Chain A
Amino acid sequence: MDATAQTTRILFEQFSPWAINLFYAFGYAAIACFLYGCYVQVRKYRRGQPDASWGQLAARFGDMARTMLTHRTLKRRDHAAGAAHAMIFFSFIALFVGTATITLEVDILKPLFGITFWKGGFYLLFSLVLDLAGLGLIGGLLYMMYRRKWMALPKLDYTRPDRQPGDPDYDRSAYRREDWAFLWTLILIGITGYVLEASRLVWLSGDAGVWDSRFWSPVGALLAHSLMGLGLDASGAGTLRGGLWWFHGLLALSFIALIPFTKVKHIFTASASLMFRDPLAGRRLPKVPETQEAAGYEAITDLTWKNLLHLDACTKCGRCHEACPARTVGTPLSPRDVILSLREFANHALSASSLPDKAELSIHGKGPGQVFMETLWSCRTCLACVEICPVAVEHVPIIVQMRRKLVEEGEMEPILQKTLQTIHKTGNSFGESKRKRGAWTKGLPFPVKDARKEPVETLWFVGDYAAFDPRNQKVTQAFARLLHTAGEDFGLLLDGELNAGNDVRRVGEEGLYEHLASSNIATLEGCEFKRIVTTDPHSFNTIRNEYPEFADPALRGLFQIEHYSTVLLKLIQSGRLTLKKRLSHRVTFHDPCHLGRFNKGYDAPRELLALIGCTLVEMPRNRDNSFCCGAGGGRIWIPDPVGMEKPAQNRMKEAAGLPDIDVFVVACPKDLTMFEDALKTTPGCEGRFVVRELIELIAECVEAADPAPAAPAEAPALA
């Protein structure tokens, strides 16, 4: 039918030319305002330092598009919010593409080439899709409103743990108002869109070309019927449509104009932030360039453009606020607030046409937008915030950069200063003589090779806690016995080993880290070995992810390092270690930050637990959501405030909430120290279960007496 083929919507129907011109004037003004806002934002980013993240743009773009299309990061730990966002997101895209299609025909193709395509079947399908998209938009927005108003989610409470009531930036009610303004604006655009459509249908109900195809806009048609039922006639609908048209149009144009100035800009900043995500953020901290005199961030202009972009990407979703162990126990740190503070600071200081004086750019201090020293020192660099951020904000590298400045200034706990000096002097955090690093081997019934003197298959980097802490030495000895039993050819660096530096670097003592890393690298380069093994996830992380940057490029292959969990798993699976006994414990497992979140080593420890017969009962916070023991980022060297719950105690309570657990299994020397201590000091937990290292459980199974009565107790060592 020819009539259907010509079906379309007449734009500006019955508008006088001056009204159309007026609308175009508003449109251009909105676009100008939008472009100016973009310019101001880009100028702000360009006031940051350079960053080398421009490589592999196509791959980065693909990664970003995948993340956005799947909404993977938004659905994590809050599926409903992610789903509602997806409804808004995809509806918004549909509506935007729809509007852009009309512009394409009316403002470009038709005037220039005389081409029209927005008609007939395409037009009808277009009407249907956009009509449904409006429904998605409004539905998603309604859920978001419900969530804000009635769910009372703690993560959406913007009050700050590091400020007092009465401080100018304590409650951040402006953010709440902005959130509501955003939701209301969008939902009003959606609702007025429908009413507009319905009133147009009623107004033109006499025109068969319009009226007969009304159910291609089902929501609009139903609304039109309702309005007619309420007594709206064609002329009344015409009047309603006239007023509503301007309201809807101006609201939508204002929305576009305000994008760069409001949270709406996350449409662009969050996408860009995802695009420039660093997969190693926090796992590999930024090097200080050799030519750069001062280390760390002092002024807002010391941040890179990428940092500044990340600040703008934050949508205050509160996932990091919820995950942060320091915030959970009540220290004055919320990763969200560090990001928001710096963002407020950047918007204030870097948005003007000229830069303020250097003195006004310092981000350290007690003023609005500045970050407290106590806040920075509360961080355990556990990466819970970076890992969960749906828009790839990288909090920890910024915090460490700011700490570097504090270290340069000596703004830290005296006890931390002492520890750093001790590490510099003795090479370990225990202040022990270098000669004593191998003392734990004296308790072994076999000699251990010095990897500096003879070639070995496996070079074992022991780490400070495993080497010097008396409780951990027992675990270290057990691992040595396991390697020996399996016939593994292994050796140590003995007094040639220094603290690996992982935590020194996370404290922000970059100079000391450079010293430790380069000394260890030089020692490693002088040894002959096939792979490195460690029982310490902290050493594991820095050797695996950070040492290669400090080594001769030709020797980067040297840093093939494995955590003991994968080593033992292979030894058992290949039959080189025999389990002579199975344990029937009900256990829970604590993922060490540096093994799990940092390096995705979630599975090997769990497989080992299954192999030795343990029943694993997961804690509510497990794997990527594992809750830091509180020792990371150098906090093991700084006593936690008295009278405040420690993160490890919080974790003990979580484990105590599981039914009938026998053993709380850890796979990190620092975890063993932290949790054995916390178990004793957490009311109601002692006696409920014990803390054991996974190595100890495996050794118990491997070293059990042979079932055959005549067999010797100890398995004979392989050569």
Chain B
Amino acid sequence: MKILVAVKQVAALDEDFEIRADGLDVDEDFLLFDLNEWDDYSLEEAMKIKEASNGDVEVVVVSIGPERVDESLRKCLAKGADRALRVWDDAIEGSDSSVMARLLAAVVRKEAPDMVFAGVQSSDHAFAATGIGLAGELGWPHAAVVNALDYAPGARQATLKRELEGGVSQSVTLQCPAVLTIQLGINTPRYASLRGIKQANAKPIDVLGLDDLGVPATTVGVDASLSRVRRMYIPPKGRAQMIEGSPDQQAARLVEIIREFKGA
């Protein structure tokens, strides 16, 4: 019995960042990398299933990215994942989520897990597409935005709740294997101590290239993607302004602004 958890190392902006010279992304010098917040929850969900079982569940984490991603994978290993896989080839640079889904599908075919978890979305690009795209590639049942899960390892079915807009919940039963995208708050992720992360150095991270997955280089990268970034920029400042002066002056100015806005 195996659960595959697809994770991503996301970028957060440092103070006073700069856009890269080609105008397509933020200069990497100004990025702080960390594991995507949603992935903490999907990994925890897999770990809960593993720990509730009698020990025959293997949790494998997979990520696509360059060597720096190993740090995030180690964090997953420290939390108890059995193995980690990292997929990379320079040709992958610039791929969109459709290509990521294709690559992950190749990993799933190779690993043959009984269940695949991914986060609902990544906190940096927020497409919320990779997990569901992967299900599409595989033609597997899928459920997005899962916030409760009842699944016994190896069962043919899983029952879960999905969080819909407007505070509505949907209860769903689906056939396994399946792809679930996990929502924040489904559980309480555990803490990975730094010693744990260090000790995870001893656990293997297998690096897979395109050949290992049988994916031709022509099917990855910007050219094989369904979308591409045209420009990344900081939008012009909004119209918020600070009203100075005494409370009387501030009130008068506020009335003025409201009139202007109404076009009176």
Which chain A residues have a beta carbon within 8 Å of chain B's beta carbons?
288, 293, 295, 407-408, 410, 412, 414, 417, 420-421, 424-426, 432-436, 509-512, 514-515
Contacts and interface: CB of A to CB of B under 8 A. Distances in A.
Contacts of A515: 194
A346 B197 CA distance: 32
Interface string B93-123: 0000000000000000000000000000000
15 contacts: A295-B193, A408-B193, A408-B195, A410-B190, A410-B191, A414-B188, A417-B191, A421-B191, A424-B194, A426-B32, A433-B16, A434-B14, A435-B14, A509-B193, A515-B194
A435 B15 contact: yes
Given A407-B191, A420-B191, A425-B34, A511 B198 contact: yes
B58 to A, nearest CB: 22
A425 B196 contact: no
Max chain A Cβ within 10 angstroms of own Cβ: one of B34, B190, B195, B198 = B195
A511 B14 contact: no
A138 B53 CA distance: 66
A288 B16 contact: no
B199 interface: yes
A433 B14 CA distance: 6
Contacts of A436: 15
B253 to A, nearest CB: 29
Most chain A CB within a 10 A radius of its CB, from B32, B34, B191, B196: B191
A512 B194 contact: yes
A407 B78 CA distance: 13
A12 B57 CA distance: 79
Interface string B188-211: 101101111111000000000000
Contacts of B188: 414
Dominant SS among interface residues on chain A: helix
A511 B15 contact: no
B136 to A, nearest CB: 34
B190 A510 contact: no
Contacts of A414: 188
Interface of B: 14-16, 32, 34, 188, 190-191, 193-199
Contact of A432 (B15, B190, B193, B194): B15
A435 B16 CA distance: 9
A420 B195 CA distance: 13
Contacts of A435: 14-16
Most chain B CB within 10 A, of A293, A295, A417, A511, is at A511
A412 B32 contact: no
Contact of B195 (A412, A417, A434, A511): A511
Contacts of B191: 407, 410, 412, 417, 420-421
Given A293-B199, A514-B195, 20 more contacts: A295-B193, A408-B193, A408-B196, A410-B190, A410-B191, A412-B191, A414-B188, A424-B194, A425-B32, A425-B34, A433-B14, A433-B15, A435-B15, A509-B194, A510-B195, A511-B193, A511-B196, A511-B197, A514-B194, A515-B194
A410 to B, nearest CB: 4
A288 B195 contact: yes
A22 B104 CA distance: 89
A286 B41 CA distance: 34
Nearest to A414: B188
Nearest to B197: A511
B219 to A, nearest CB: 35
A430 to B, nearest CB: 12
* 5 closest cross-chain pairs (CB), A and B: A511-B194, A511-B195, A410-B191, A433-B15, A512-B194
Nearest to B33: A425
Residue with the highest number of chain A CB atoms closer than 10 Å, among B14, B16, B194, B198 = B194
Nearest to B194: A511
Nearest to B34: A425
A407 B15 contact: no
Nearest to B199: A293
A506 to B, nearest CB: 15
A421 B190 CA distance: 12
A639 B61 CA distance: 35
A420 B191 CA distance: 9
Chain B CB within 10 A, most for which of A410, A414, A424: A410
Given A425-B32, A432-B15, A295 B195 contact: yes
A187 B169 CA distance: 76
A515 B191 CA distance: 17
A233 to B, nearest CB: 80
A293 B188 CA distance: 26
Contacts of B195: 288, 295, 408, 510-511, 514
A510 B34 CA distance: 21
A356 B194 CA distance: 32
A345 B51 CA distance: 29
Given A425-B32, A435-B16, A407 B199 contact: no
Nearest to A515: B194
B141 to A, nearest CB: 33
Contacts of A509: 193-194
A414 B40 CA distance: 14
Contact of B193 (A407, A433, A434): A407
A73 B133 CA distance: 72
A22 B127 CA distance: 93
Contacts of A510: 194-195
B77 to A, nearest CB: 14
Contacts of A432: 15
Contacts of A417: 191
Nearest to A407: B193
A295 B78 CA distance: 14
A509 B198 CA distance: 13
Nearest to B16: A435
A510 B195 CA distance: 7
Contacts of A433: 14-16
Contacts of A426: 32
A568 B92 CA distance: 59
Contacts of A295: 193, 195
Residue among A412, A433, A434 with the highest chain B CB neighbour number at 10 A: A433
